């Protein structure tokens, strides 16, 4: 599978999970769905941050790539906050909604037809088949790590460790 096809499929799965959270009938179901969403987002972050974005460096607009890293870090902080709370918390639903909006914006930036990150990567001649294989293997490794150890504390690329 091509890298961009794999990443787009993950974007669609995340979108489906956000809709399922909105429709959840009770708080335990909402929490369970959010944990599934968080696992998917953490694995997706890992493969983009570890493999796809480094492959794009020097080949796509630098500012677009920097924004992608910042968007990932912002999402990870919000995911950690949501996981630390409960669906009964006053701001839980608002935080999930803001996360959804951030993710939708991020996806749009990556998938824009002509100037998006994926289009620029394809135009730069990146080997999408080879990248897709690497992404798929790493995605399975990350999902297994999450399954075995739970969700990790967020590792942020764009912030100094001492700032948290």
pLDDT of residue 164: 44
Q: What is the pLDDT of residue 130?
A: 97
pLDDT at residue 152, as a whole number:
86
CA distance 1 to 11: 15
pLDDT at 17: 98
95 token code pair: 């935080």
Unique residue bearing structure tokens 């020097």: 58
55 within 8 A of 45, measured Cβ to Cβ = no
Q: What is the pTM of this model?
A: 0.91
Q: Residue 162: its pLDDT value, please? A: 40
Per-residue pLDDT of the chain (164 residues; tens, 9 = 90+): 999 999 999 999 999 999 999 999 999 999 999 999 999 999 999 999 999 999 999 999 999 999 999 999 999 999 999 999 999 999 999 999 999 999 999 999 999 998 999 999 999 999 999 999 999 999 999 999 999 999 888 878 776 544 44
In this prediction, residue 42 carries a pLDDT of 95
Give the per-residue pLDDT at 116: 95
Amino acid 160: pLDDT: 57
Where are the chain's structural domains?
A: 3-151
At 124, list the tokens.
Answer: 């730069």
Q: Count CB-CB contacts under 10 A for residue 114.
A: 7
Q: Please, are residues 105 and 71 in contact by the beta-carbon 8 Å criterion?
A: yes
CA distance 106 to 100: 10
Residue appearing with tokens 């951030």? 102
């Amino acid at each position: 599978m091509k890298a961009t096809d794999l990443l787009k499929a993950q974007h669609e799965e995340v979108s489906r999970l956000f809709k399922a959270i909105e429709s959840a009938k009770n708080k335990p179901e909402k929490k369970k769905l959010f944990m599934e969403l968080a696992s998917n987002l953490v694995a997706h972050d890992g493969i983009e941050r570890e493999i796809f974005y480094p492959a794009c460096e020097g080949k796509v607009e630098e500012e677009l790539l920097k924004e992608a890293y910042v968007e990932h870090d912002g999402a990870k902080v919000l995911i950690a906050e949501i996981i630390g709370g409960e669906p009964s918390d006053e701001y839980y639903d608002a935080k999930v909604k803001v996360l959804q909006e951030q993710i939708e914006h991020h996806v749009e930036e990556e998938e824009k037809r002509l100037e998006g990150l994926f289009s620029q990567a394809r135009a730069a001649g990146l080997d999408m088949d080879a990248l897709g294989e690497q992404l798929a293997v790493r995605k399975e490794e990350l999902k297994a790590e999450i399954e075995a150890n739970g969700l990790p504390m967020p590792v942020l690329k764009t912030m100094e460790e001492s700032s948290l």
